[in-house]
Amino acid sequence: MNSEMNKKRTWLRTLIAPILCGAAGGFLLGIILLRIERAAGNDGLFRDPKWIIALSLMVIAAILLQIIIHELGHMLCGLATGYRFASFRVGSFIWVRENDRIRLKKYSLTGAVGQCLMFPPAYNGGEYPYALYHLGGVIANAVTAVLSAAAALLTAAAAPVSVFFILLGLVGLAFALSNGIPGSGPLMNNDGSNLREMRQSAEARRSMWIQLSVVERQQRGERLKDMPEEWFAMPPAQAMRSSLAATLAVFRENRLMDEHRFREAADLIDDLLGNVRNIALPGIYRHLLICDRLTIELLGDGDPAVIETLCDKEQRRVMKQMAGMITVLRTEYALALLYDRDEAKAGRLLAAFDRAAAQYPYSGDAESERSLTDLVRDKAAAAMP
């Protein structure tokens, strides 16, 4: 019952807060634009098609700038508290540390238009600085919003410049609120939600530290199966009401997949997916677990009923959204080759997988995924007459 109430409250915060902020921001923007138009003495300025195009470009520029500012906030606050640079992503472009060099690659993550990951400082017996790093993006957006409001007032006589600063400030305020107010989207939680969980739970703090440490090892080319085993112990059942703690269970399943212990991985996936009321599993992990379960089934008995149940309409839709992720490409390849028996389609998907794996920022993870595509190919070859 409490779980259902918490979900309803999260849904209300996630849906209503942005609507109220958008309505207030739109109303405020309308008043300010009219005042600027009158002050500039340009009647009908904003009814000019050229101005409408310019305004649209300003909105896009303001959003892009605030995404960059948000991620820079994480990076600067992380560096200030002992974190080390791992990667910085905007859209599908990611700057990633590889062997003490920064390389530009292409990688996108559904549900997050930007992301700055940092290697964590020492754990110190369960404690390490975490609040400032996770609040950094919200702080940066909020500060930019205040500075933009001041700049808009100072440039009120220059309508285009002032309008841009107004838009930049409103977008910054929206970003600060939407990321700072704890909430969850269909695929992942926001910064405020992660910070709240870490403040409430030592297991959540440990989970975040492990997640960032895993990223560091994967960027160096290490696979999950070679990392410290204690990182992948199952968290206590009660702790998995925290989405961060529940992620450790997903990491354990990922390690079992890397070790090719498929029966154990399948049992764990079934337990996690069958207990969603008591496990706060982020949506993106739920769908990636289904991808793993599909691959396991295809490598095993290949029961059509199980495959059709797993690969339902919602899973297909999300897999289409995440089409560039190597886990999804591996699953689509397995479906095409072992279920649909479409070798031409499988060949195209394998080529797409190879291209994505070559750009993938986590080489250890890419190697693990490639070992699974090799198993799929070997099974298909063994089944040929």
Residue scoring higher pLDDT (24 or 252): 252
13 has pLDDT over 60? no
Same domain, 46 and 149: yes
Same domain, 154 and 261: no
pTM metric for this prediction: 0.85
Place of tokens 């921001």: 25
Judge residue 316's burial from the number of C-beta atoms within 10 Å of its C-beta, 0-12 exposed, 13-18 middle, 19 or more buried: exposed
Tokens found for residue 27? 């109303």
Judge residue 31's burial from the number of C-beta atoms within 10 Å of its C-beta, 0-12 exposed, 13-18 middle, 19 or more buried: exposed
**How many domains does one find in the chain?**
2
Domain boundary among 165, 181, 197: 181
- Structure confidence at residue 45 (pLDDT): 55
93-98 sheet: strands from edge to edge: 101-106, 93-98, 84-90, 114-119
Same domain, 267 and 133: no
Domain boundary among 181, 204, 220: 181
- Structure confidence at residue 244 (pLDDT): 92
Find the domain containing 344 and state its range: 229-383
Structural domain includes residue 252: yes
- Structure confidence at residue 5 (pLDDT): 45
Structural domain includes residue 316: yes
Same domain, 128 and 264: no
Structural domain includes residue 298: yes
Tokens found for residue 289? 């677990």
Place of tokens 């703090």: 205
Could you write out the DSSP letters of every residue in 169-232? HHHHHHHHHHHHS--B-SS-B-HHHHHHHHHH-HHHHHHHHHHHHHHHHHHTT--GGGS-GGGG
Give the gyration radius of the chain's Cα atoms: 23
3 has pLDDT over 80? no
**What are the residues whose beta carbons fall under 8 Å from the beta carbon of 109, sequence distance 6 or more?**
89, 115, 325
Coil/strand/helix, residue 374: helix
- Structure confidence at residue 7 (pLDDT): 46
Same domain, 135 and 18: yes
Same domain, 154 and 250: no
Structural domain includes residue 221: no
| CA atoms of 10 and 123, how far apart (whole Å) | 30
Structural domain includes residue 26: yes
114-156 pLDDT, tens per residue?
999 999 999 987 789 999 999 999 999 999 999 998 998 888 7
Helix, strand, coil shares, percent, the chain, to 5: 70, 10, 20
218 has pLDDT over 70? yes
Find which of 362-366, 367-371, 379-383 is predicted with most confidence, using mean pLDDT: 367-371
Structural domain includes residue 222: no
Structural domain includes residue 91: no
